Every structure is written in C-alpha cells, then in structure tokens.
Amino acid sequence: MNFLRKKFMEYYSNPFIEFPARFDRREYAFILFGEGGMRRHISFLSKDDLLSYLRKNSPAHVYYSSAYYRHPDAGTMREKEWMGADLIFDLDADHIPNAIQMSYEEMLLEVKKELEKLLSFLMEDFGFEKRHIRLYFSGGRGYHCHVSHPDVIPLGSQERREIVDYVTARGLNFKGIVKEKSIPKEYFSDKTLEINPKRGGWSGRIARGIIEFLREVKKMEREKAIKKLMELDGIGEKTASSLYDFLTEERIRRIEDGKIDQSTEFKRIAIPLIKKLSVSMQSSTDEPVTGDIKRLIRLPGSLHGKTGLRVTNVDVDNLHEFNPLRDAVVFGENGIKVVVEKPLSIEMMENKFKIERGMREVPEYLAVFLVARGFATA
Amino acid sequence: MFFKWFPFNFVELSTMARYPFISAAKEWVKNEKATIEEILFDDIYERARGRGAERVMQAVIAGFIKDIPLLSEIDCVMEIFSYPVARMIVVASGSEYVIRRYALAEAKRAYENLKNESINFIEKMADEFGMRINGNRMYFVDYLRYAPTWDIKWKLVNRELKKGEVVLEKHEIARLLQEAIRKKIYNELTYMYPPPEIKKVFGDVIDEIKSRVSFREKENKIEEVDARLFPPCIKNLVSATKSGMNVPHVGRFTLVTFLNAVGMSVEEILKIFSSSPDFNAEKTRYQIEHITGKISGTNYTPPKCDTIRTWGLCFPDDICRRVKHPLSYYRLKRRRK
C-alpha cells in the first residue's frame, strides 16, 4: 500500500476531528488517494458514521460545506435547499506577492500577517467578538478564519462580498473617504486634504496608516527613509527624495492635526499604502470568484494530502506563537527511510534539517511531509 | 395600552396618515371595526375610496404619490383608510408590475416625509422594521440588507464602520428605511387576494390601470439581440452568471448595462441571472430596474474597456484592439454581419 495512505490510515484510526456546528446539515466531500475526482454530496447522520468513513477510506483531503442545507446529500444546489452558511475567509499564500520565492515557513509567516490584519478588521470594524471567530491552519499554504455569528449565517453572497470587499479595500473610493477642503486665504484658496485618525472605517485606518508611516520615515536617516518610501508601488527615487525633504517637523505636526497639503504628493503614497493596509485575499486581477455561500472547506482535524499536516485550530490569542510545523504535526519520531529527490532545509518540531539528495533516514513526521510534498519517495 | 406592543407607543392620527403601513395604523384600522363592505360601499368612506384610487393612479403614472393637506382629524382618518383601499385595487389589477410600482411609490413618499423627521422618530421607525440603530449608527448587518451597495457611495468599504456600526446621515437612514418599506409592502401585496366586490366599485379604475400598464409595456419593444456578437468580456459574464458563479457587483453592473443598451428587456436579463445560487427574483429585478433607469431615473451606460480591464474582467480578442467600448464592439460586429 502507498506509504502516505498507510500513514493517513494510522491517523484516522484515532483522529482528533472537530465536528462543525449543525454537523448533519453539511455536505461532505473527499478526495481519495489515487483518485482524480472529488466524491461529493455526501452527508452523515451521526459523527460515528463520518469517523468510520474516514477510517475506511483514509482520504487524502476532507472537506465540508460552509453552508448547511435541508438536504445536504442532494446533487444540485436547488435540491439541497440552502439554509445558511458560516462566513469563511480563506487566506492563502497564492495571494501573497512573491510567494514563489519564499520557503514554506516564510510563506506561512506572511499569510499570518494577513490574518492578523483580518482579525483587526473583524473585531475593530465589524465588532465581532473572539467567541464568534475561529482560526484554523489549513494544513497547506494558509489559514482559514470562520465567523459563525448568528447574524451573519443568513447573509447572501452579495452581502458577504461587501464584507470581503471591505477587508480587501476593493471598490474603495479614495476621493469620497478623504475629503478635499479649500481654505480661502487672502488671494488664493489653500487646498488641503483632511484626515482624521480617530474616525472609524477606512478613513480612520488610512489616516492612522499615513501618520504612522510618515513618522517612521521621518525618524530614519535620509538614505534609509528614501529606500523605505521607494518600497511603495509607483514611488521612484525622485518622488521619494522630494517627499522626504518636504517632511519638516512642522508639516508632520500639521498632518497629525489632520491637514495634508495637496503638494505633498500625498496621494501617491496613500494609494499604495491602502494596499499595504488591506488584506490580500483574492488575486489582484479580481476574477469572478465563487461566492462563499456554497464553498467547501477543509474539515478541522483532517489531514492535508499535500503536506500530511493537520487542519489545526489556532487560539486567537496565541496566533503569534502558533507554529504550524510544530503544532499541526501528528506523526511520530521513529526513523523512516526515504529517497530524497529535491534537497531541502526546513525547521520542523523545532529541529533544523538540511536534507540532501539520496537515501536518508528521517523522523516519521518529516518523512510524511517530504513524501506528501513530492520532495521524496518512500 | 394596546399600543404598548408596538414601537410607536402612542401614535397620533397624523403620523398614521403619513405612514399608513406601520403596524399601529393597521391595528387602528382593525379597531375601527369597519367591514370591507362598509369601506367599499358606505358613503362615509367616499373620500377614502377616491384617495385610494388616486394613490394607485399616481403610483402607476408618475411613480410617486403626492401628499395631501391633513388639516383635520377626518382628513387623517380618510387618508389612513385610503391605504387599504389602494392595496385592494393594486392586488385586483393582477399585475406584478403594478404591485412593484405601487410599493416603490409608497416607499418613496414615506422617504420624503421621513427625511424631515427627528432622529428620535426615525429610530422608532427603524425599530418597526427590525433595523438595529443607535442614534445615527446602524448595525452593519441591517445596513447590508437594505443598502443599494451596487452604488459606490453605499459600498460598505466607503462607510465609517466602527465596532459593527455604520455611521449614517439622517437622510441616509431614511433611504434605507425606504427600501425596507418597499420590501414589506411588496411582500404583503404578493400574498394578498382581492375581495370579489372590489371590481364592482373600482372596475373602471382597474381597467384604466391595466390599459396604462399594457401601453407602458409596449413601449419597451424588444429588438432582436444576437448574443454571438457580444464582446468576450460580456460573453464571459453571461456564461459565468448562467453557470451559477457568483459574479462581483461590477461584473453584474457591466452585464446589465450592456444587455440593456443592446435592447434586452428586464425579463430577458432576469432570466440570465436566474441560475445564480442566491437568486432572488424580486431583488435582482429591483437592481436591474435601478441600473436601467426604470426606477432610479438614471440610465447607466456600460463602463468603457479601460474600466473593465481595471476590474480584471477583460479577456480581449482581435476585434477588441479596435474598440474602446464594449458597445462599439457589438455595433462593429453587427455591421459586419
């Protein structure tokens, strides 16, 4: 039998599954080892039925529907009869710029930063409490955030899209949010942009972001500051240096009071800054994505067939400490011989590994990870 | 004491006359114990019947119901009774179009009055419709239920949202109430049956309304639309929509404005959207009618190619290089045909 499948079978003989609320109203879907397609439209009346399905098939991937239905096992949406759905945010490394050049660990750290931003939106702006939010490491390249507040469950896909658009800043109308004001002076009127860091919503976020960013830049030496400014999209050396020279103490104070002179080329830093402040969740081309009222998500506690890591709950308060390559590992330490095809450096279970090509003996958890990711064969 | 159950504890007649759809008004009419026969045939209600017919005619013809002076108690009483009369006429017309148009006109009238009310009053009205508001702030879930978010200024991202509450101006809350009122009236009328006697009294009015409506429907004459000539972006949107994918707002907007511009009727456009997973015929129709100018007064034109490209909805082919607007693509291809 296939090595991975055998290992998965060992895990599923006694797995730690977190069953979703309204368990029997969900659709379940599976991808089995060696099978291309997905087995869909499956429902279970009892938790034991699901557990024995897992034991029997030890699937490579296990999903359940974020929605719950009157007839979860019906073949079409219409027959299923949609009853409501959790609100799910899927944060994946695919949507992080330059993810390809990063190691697996770096990638996951980047996604975590996005997750932290998302949490701040959900709690500060939307007012959700911790008890309504559950975070999961996806087992693969990212994190899932589930919001199950009773008021969001009946929301339709347009309403959900508004929430997603809010955290990703899509459709943000800059001119409508940062008000332009003309202050009449003796002969001319002085045009300024007004910002207010105390406001809620994006206008406050942008204001705080700008002030914080400019303060940080101001503190730096000239050369470093210019470099920092140039990190923003569309800012060249010329703009950066003129911006820096412009930032006198007096002007910074004016900005902190909420007044930005038009001439600061402020808009040029504001737009890329919005990008930095928003959550990267969908690819930047904004292709029509399937509405999340009927999506499938990985079952907490199941294993991810491409890593062997477990879909693991992350405590909101301990997000910072969570280490997927320690906390989502389920396999043991026994030595296993594998043939490594691609060399790799990785830190797992707080051990550093530098693995070269060829036959190697490694701990079981690493063997599973390497084989699942296609770095080695067993 | 009876009214303790309702958000408006003590409701004056003049309030009920201006907002005859609130539950207190309904309860008041019930307590008057007037039978349908009395309302339809008794001389006392002559004025209410006249005003009821007027409400419907104005709604159908002008899309708006004009306020009348309410100087005395009897003025108010007749105004309150005219509302159930108008509803019976609307339902008796048997036309979905009349129901929609009437519900919207009543809601618009309420909006015009509401925006001049005190914030206190607006709060009570919001309560009546289950909207959770707190001064000038509204719970975002209720906001999303009623806000026309296809309009950029109503998009949540452009709103001040703090701890789950959206900060709004008074007239904006009134605007959201308008939508709640429209929905409520529309839903009620959809499930209502007219009393058989109504045609005896209002036969002429109902015929008149019907002829007006059929005349209106003839105005929107449909020309032959050839979907094979659509530019790739529109073809993509059509197939995504038809296959039940959830197309973003801007995509829906592009699609509706385009289909409208090439001469598709609301019904035909609606059909394309009907396979969407959360398809809601009434809501979609409202959005389509808003975008096509039927109820908003603005007939939006489709966005130009540049804009569509920014939204990531552009998948150009050879002809696309020669045009800057999706409609030019269609016209160019039709000329070639």
Find the domain containing B65 and state its range.
Answer: 2-214
CB contact under 8 A, B157 and A287: no
Q: Could you read off the pLDDT of B314-332 as tens digits, one per residue?
A: 888 888 888 889 988 988 8
Chain A contact for B161 (CB, 8 A cutoff): yes
pLDDT the model gives residue A185? 66
| Residues in chain B closer than 8 A to A128 (CB atoms) | 164
The pLDDT-based confidence of B255 (bands split at 50, 70, 90) is: very high
Same domain, B155 and B41: yes
Q: Which of B158, B239, B282, B309 to mutate to test the interface with A (most CBs of A within 10 A)?
A: B158
Which CATH number goes with the domain that contains B170?
A: 1.20.930
**To the nearest whole angstrom, how far is the Cα of B102 from the nearest Cα of chain A?**
26
CB contact under 8 A, A166 and B161: yes
Looking at B179, B214, B249, the residue that finishes a domain is B214
**pLDDT exceeds 50 at position B267:** yes
pLDDT the model gives residue A175? 75
Higher per-residue confidence, B223 vs A26: A26
Tens digit of pLDDT at every position of chain A (378 positions): 689 999 999 999 999 999 999 999 999 999 999 898 999 999 999 999 999 999 999 999 999 999 999 999 998 888 898 899 999 888 888 777 777 788 888 999 999 999 999 999 999 999 999 999 999 999 998 999 999 899 999 988 778 888 988 998 888 887 777 777 776 666 666 677 778 888 889 988 988 888 888 888 888 898 999 888 888 878 888 888 888 888 888 888 888 887 777 665 666 777 788 878 888 775 433 333 434 677 889 999 999 999 999 999 999 999 999 999 999 999 999 999 999 999 999 999 999 999 999 999 999 999 999 999 999 998
For residue B177, CA distances in Å to A350, B94, B129, B202, B219 come to 58, 27, 8, 31, 32
| Residues in chain A closer than 8 A to B240 (CB atoms) | 288
Chain A contact for B144 (CB, 8 A cutoff): yes
CB contact under 8 A, A171 and B250: yes
Cα dihedral across residues B6, B7, B9, B12: positive or negative: negative
**8 Å CB contact between A203 and B160:** yes
Same domain, B94 and B52: yes
| Rounded (5°) CA angle A145-A151-A153 | 60
d(CA B190, CA B183): 10
Cα dihedral across residues B265, B318, B239, A279: positive or negative: negative
* Mean pLDDT across chain B: 86
Residue B157 is classified by DSSP as: G
Same domain, B257 and B109: no
Would B46 be classed as within a structural domain? Answer: yes
What's chain B's length in residues?
A: 337
DSSP A147-180: E--TTTTT--HHHHHHHHHHHHTTT--HHHHSEE
Chain A contact for B159 (CB, 8 A cutoff): yes
pLDDT the model gives residue B247? 75
**8 Å CB contact between A195 and A203:** yes
Chain A contact for B119 (CB, 8 A cutoff): no
Shortest CA distance from A294: residue in chain B: B277
| Residues in chain A closer than 8 A to B144 (CB atoms) | 155, 159, 162-163
Number of domains in chain B: 2
CB contact under 8 A, A151 and B153: no
CB contact under 8 A, B161 and A163: no
Would B222 be classed as within a structural domain? Answer: no
Same domain, B60 and B150: yes
Q: Which domains does chain A have, with CATH numbers?
A: 3-167+286-329 (3.90.920.10), 174-277 (no CATH), 331-378 (no CATH)
Q: Model's pTM, two decimal places?
A: 0.79
| Residue A92 annotated to the active site | yes
| Residue A90 annotated to the active site | yes
Q: Could you read off the pLDDT of B19-29 as tens digits, one per residue?
A: 999 999 999 99
Residue A122 is classified by DSSP as: I
| Residues in chain A closer than 8 A to B311 (CB atoms) | 286
Nearest beta carbon to residue A200 from set B157, B167, B277: B167
Same domain, B38 and B174: yes
| Residues in chain B closer than 8 A to A164 (CB atoms) | none
Residues 6+ apart with CB under 8 A from B201: B40, B41, B49
Would B200 be classed as within a structural domain? Answer: yes
Q: What residues 180-239 of chain B have any CB closer than 8 A to a CB of chain A? A: 237
Nearest beta carbon to residue B141 from set A124, A151, A293: A151
| Residues in chain B closer than 8 A to A157 (CB atoms) | 246, 277-278
Mark residue B74 as left, alpha or beta (left: phi above 0; alpha: psi -120 to 50; beta: remaining). Answer: alpha
Same domain, B169 and B269: no
Chain A contact for B303 (CB, 8 A cutoff): no
Q: Exactly one of A86, A92, A165, A327 is catalytic; name it.
A: A92
Q: How many CB atoms lie within 10 A of CB B98?
A: 23
DSSP B226-251: -GGGS-HHHHHHHHHHHTT----HHH
- Residue B101: half-sphere exposure toward Cβ, Cα within 13 Å: 24
d(CA A136, CA A132): 13
**pLDDT exceeds 80 at position B130:** yes
Nearest to A289 by CA among A41, A92, A135: A92
Same domain, B196 and B323: no
d(CA B311, CA A287): 8
Same domain, B262 and B121: no
Chain A contact for B154 (CB, 8 A cutoff): no
Nearest beta carbon to residue B157 from set A82, A156, A172: A172
| Residues in chain A closer than 8 A to B152 (CB atoms) | 171, 173, 176
**To the nearest whole angstrom, how far is the Cα of A286 from the nearest Cα of chain B?**
5
Same domain, B286 and B145: no
pLDDT the model gives residue B222? 41
Q: Could you read off the pLDDT of B277-306 as tens digits, one per residue?
A: 567 777 788 888 888 877 666 778 889 888
CB contact under 8 A, B157 and A293: no
CB contact under 8 A, B278 and A162: no
pLDDT the model gives residue A285? 34
Nearest beta carbon to residue A126 from set B140, B149, B152: B140
Shortest CA distance from B155: residue in chain A: A162
Same domain, B232 and B190: no
Higher per-residue confidence, A214 vs B110: B110
Residues 6+ apart with CB under 8 A from B71: none
CB contact under 8 A, A162 and B149: yes
| Residues in chain B closer than 8 A to A82 (CB atoms) | 277-278
Cα dihedral across residues B217, B219, B220, B223: positive or negative: positive
Chain A contact for B149 (CB, 8 A cutoff): yes
- Highest-pLDDT range among A112-116, A260-264, B79-83, B119-123: B79-83
CB contact under 8 A, A293 and B280: no
- Highest-pLDDT range among A198-212, A227-241, B43-57, B184-198: B43-57
CB contact under 8 A, B246 and A288: yes
Tokens of B104: 């919207």
Contacts A–B by Cβ distance under 8 A? 114
Q: Exactly one of A151, A233, A245, A286 is catalytic; name it.
A: A286
Same domain, B238 and B200: no
Looking at B150, B180, B214, the residue that finishes a domain is B214
Nearest to B291 by CA among B304, B277, B303: B303
**pLDDT exceeds 80 at position B225:** no
Looking at B182, B214, B246, the residue that finishes a domain is B214
Mean pLDDT of B63-76: 91
Would B93 be classed as within a structural domain? Answer: yes
Strand segments, DSSP code E, in A259-374 are 259-261, 296-298, 312-314, 335-340, 344-348, 351-355, 358-363
Same domain, B179 and B273: no
Shortest CA distance from A126: residue in chain B: B164
Would B221 be classed as within a structural domain? Answer: no
| Residues in chain A closer than 8 A to B313 (CB atoms) | 286-288
**8 Å CB contact between B324 and B306:** yes
pLDDT the model gives residue B220? 45
